[in-house]
Amino acid sequence: MDVSVDMKKLADSLSGKLETLPPLSKECSIYRVAEPRRRLNPSHYTPQMVSIGPFHHGKEELQPMEEHKRRYLKCFLQRTEVCMTRFLTHIKDKEAELRDLTMVLVDALFLIVFFLRYYEPRFRTDDDRIFGKPELHWNIRHDLWLVENQLPLFILIDLFKLAKTETCGDGFLKNMSFMTISCPLIAGTELKDPNIPSLKELHQAGVKFKPAAKGSTQNLLDINFNQGILEIPYLTLYDATERLYRNLIAFERLHGYAGYFNDFIIMMADLVKTPKDAELLIRNKIFGLGNTEALATTFRELDKDCGMDHFHFQYSGIVADLQDYSKLRWHMWKATLKQNYFNTPWASLSVIAAVILLLLTATQTVSSLIAL
């Protein structure tokens, strides 16, 4: 047996496989959640109503929405003079390696019409089954948050520009999102002491809490501490909140960018360790009335998905300031006095009355001693 011949066949076989590798996109890619992470919480990364893009396309449980997607496609084509062939050709020219042009076209134009009808009610029709049922379009929104349930944004923008009419100009593109999180380029610094005090501990140390002013920030991540006051953006907790947050964490990790949201979750998980901490958020109007146990549990569970980089933590300066403030005994004594003896008007009056009584007693005692 000629070993060299066998080696030649193996080499040719491997070379053939290398030649048939599909080209990688230069523009972008759709991220896929790592399987170990997915196994822990599969429902948080899987669409329940509508599939967008290749990863969940064709799933049986999502088929009912395919008819609605085609109806949206039909509606879109009726509003433009651009034919379907031109749309398909445009997609193919942009991304030569795309295998399912039909899927991309249907999903992309469905998204465009969905956003149009969401932001511009005048584009809705009486027979629209999606916007005719608020719960349905709300559930679709939740599916569009998922990191795996996406199409490259440039495809949507290109198709919209190709079909743009006078009824809807470029201004629409600026609003084509459900949520914007502003992340200023703040370089994280080293976190020397990772023990972040809880809200209850900070309260006992005299720290005050208030919601971040709406006029100054719309940034969920904008936590600030200044002159003994900790400002935290207003928080809400819906059924889909944990699902959204997990996908934001996954996106940051897959994108390989700075972990802004990762650090926010770590910070909040340490601040809100127990329902007692969550009660302080409610009392200070930072968190709407709700289940305090659920809030603490949500941040605790999300924290398991995060990893702290002690050398580049965006809240390291705030944590250091909170730790220094908590170590000053004067702040703790002042807080104890206020919380225990001046927490209500009646308590304040009682303390004042006791002090006056003590002074009168002392005065009487001194007078008696002088008389002797």
pLDDT one-digit tens code per residue, 18-45: 777 766 665 557 899 999 989 999 999 9
Q: Does residue 207 share a domain with residue 167?
A: no
Q: Does residue 352 share a domain with residue 310?
A: no
Q: Does residue 167 share a domain with residue 37?
A: yes
The span from the CA of 135 to the CA of 140, in Å, is: 9
Q: Does residue 351 share a domain with residue 292?
A: no
Asked if the structure places residue 11 within a domain, the reply is no
Whole domain around residue 117: which residue ranges? 23-174
Asked if the structure places residue 271 within a domain, the reply is yes
Q: Does residue 130 share a domain with residue 48?
A: yes
Asked if the structure places residue 304 within a domain, the reply is yes
Q: For 141-169, what is each residue's pLDDT tens digit?
A: 999 999 999 998 888 888 888 886 545 55
User: Domain ends where: 157, 174, 191?
Assistant: 174
User: Alpha helices, DSSP H only, in 79-149?
Assistant: 84-94, 101-119, 134-144
C-alpha 150 chain-centroid distance: 16
Q: Does residue 350 share a domain with residue 316?
A: no
What b/e readout covers 220-258, taking b as 16+ CB neighbours within 10 angstroms? Answer: bbbbebeeeebbbbebebeeeebbbbbbbbbbbbbeeeb
Q: Position 185: which residue type?
A: L
Q: Does residue 349 share a domain with residue 302?
A: no
Q: Does residue 51 share a domain with residue 98?
A: yes
Asked if the structure places residue 75 within a domain, the reply is yes
The first and second tokens of residue 188, run together, are 């994280």
Q: Does residue 170 share a domain with residue 121?
A: yes
What b/e readout covers 13-38, taking b as 16+ CB neighbours within 10 angstroms? Answer: eeeeeeeeeeeeeeeeebbebeeebb
Q: Does residue 168 share a domain with residue 261?
A: no
Asked if the structure places residue 150 within a domain, the reply is yes
Distances (CA, A) of 43 to 116, 143, 284, 288: 28, 11, 33, 26
What b/e readout covers 69-107, taking b as 16+ CB neighbours within 10 angstroms? Answer: bebbbebbeeebebeeeebeebbeebbeebeeeebbbbb
Q: Does residue 351 share a domain with residue 284?
A: no
Asked if the structure places residue 107 within a domain, the reply is yes
Residue 31: how many CA atoms within 13 Å on its side-chain side? Answer: 17
Asked if the structure places residue 339 within a domain, the reply is no
Q: Render each residue's pLDDT in the chain as its tens digit; 372 residues.
A: 565 667 777 887 888 877 777 666 655 578 999 999 899 999 999 999 999 999 999 999 999 999 999 999 999 988 888 888 998 888 888 776 666 889 999 999 999 999 989 888 888 888 898 998 888 989 999 999 999 999 988 888 888 888 865 455 555 655 666 566 555 555 567 888 889 999 999 998 889 999 987 654 467 888 999 999 999 999 888 888 899 999 999 999 888 777 889 999 999 999 999 999 999 999 999 987 668 888 999 999 999 989 888 888 999 999 999 999 888 654 554 545 455 544 556 555 555 655 566 666 767 666 666 665
Residue showing tokens 């001693």: 369
Structural domain tally of the chain? 3
Asked if the structure places residue 145 within a domain, the reply is yes
Q: Does residue 267 share a domain with residue 362?
A: no
- State the CB neighbour count (10 A cutoff) for residue 282: 15
